[in-house]
């Protein structure tokens, strides 16, 4: 049973890390891209 969930847990952790990084980085890139337009 651990073998079956072992691979799934690995992918779940990897996806979770990528998702968190995506949530943290996207607002930064969006702010950097929009800032020059909103405040020239």
Does the pLDDT at position 3 exceed 70? no
Q: What is the mean pLDDT of residues 13-17?
A: 91
Does the pLDDT at position 40 exceed 60? no
Whole-angstrom Cα distance, residue 24 to residue 26?
A: 6
pTM: 0.50
Q: What is the DSSP code (8-state) at residue 6?
A: H
Token pair recorded at residue 10: 């690995």
The model's pLDDT over 4-13, given as tens digits with 9 standing for 90+, comes to: 666 678 888 8
Confidence of residue 31 (pLDDT cuts 50, 70, 90): confident
């Amino acid at each position: 049973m651990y073998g079956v969930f072992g691979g799934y847990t690995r992918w779940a952790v990897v996806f979770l890390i990528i998702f968190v990084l995506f949530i943290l980085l996207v607002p930064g890139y969006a702010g950097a891209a929009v800032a020059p337009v909103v405040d020239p």
